[in-house]
Structure 1
Amino acid sequence: MASLRVHPDRLEIQLTRAEKTLALRREDVVVRRDSIRSVTITDDPWIWIRGIRAPGAAIPLTLAVGTWKFHGGKDFLVIKGKRQGVVIDLEGEAFDRLIVTTSHASQLATSLKMDGPDATRVNL
């Protein structure tokens, strides 16, 4: 499962080797904290998927890893099973939205909303 790391200046989604292979990526996903517009916790991340996968891998309601392109942009997904997830809307990044399932959705949302000198590094 992907590891999420929240730093004062950026969010890193560290993909496992298998996830990188399925997503056809060589590197992890890193976004600047100041490019995050909103964070939404969802019990059903599957309803947030838009567009078509390109490149990536998907097994309906089981696994979705990779880039999904839609008219006007692209999203990056790491969705596994029917777990709680986080939808992160971005501005000025390579992706318009990140959708990630995690056991720590509320902690992630809280840590991403912290600003200023109190922001600390959090590993999820």
Structure 2
Amino acid sequence: PTHACCITPDRTSLCGSINWFDARAASKVDPKGPLFEIPPGETINKEFGEYSGINEMIKKRSLGEIERINLYSGMEFPHTSCGCFEAIDFFIPEVNGHGIVDRNYSDIAINGLPFSAMANF
């Protein structure tokens, strides 16, 4: 698997099932388990939330598939997802803006794609 989720105090998992407090508690209960602390390392881009330590761990845990992530950007080096997310944010170049489509929306989104197609990118 090439997905690796990074949870912070102000950023839950994309699926919404694990928040910072739950992840922190789980890492203390089972220190060798799948939830663990990641030292952020050096700040690369504070605005986008890119940190050297997080990049190193994401690269390791994604088996080299993902080398960089920005915690706070959906456009440049976005966070990976396991597929359990409830909505998708997509860019609409014609208006230089974003659209959001909910998992339960069964029609075609404004970009011409159904949720299922966007979820498989």
Report TM bin, short chain.
Answer: under 0.3
Length-normalised TM-score, structure 2: 0.27
Length-normalised TM-score, structure 1: 0.27
Choose 1 or 2 for highest CA Rg.
2
- Higher strand fraction: Structure 1 or Structure 2? 1
Higher relative contact order (CA 8 A, sep 6+): 1
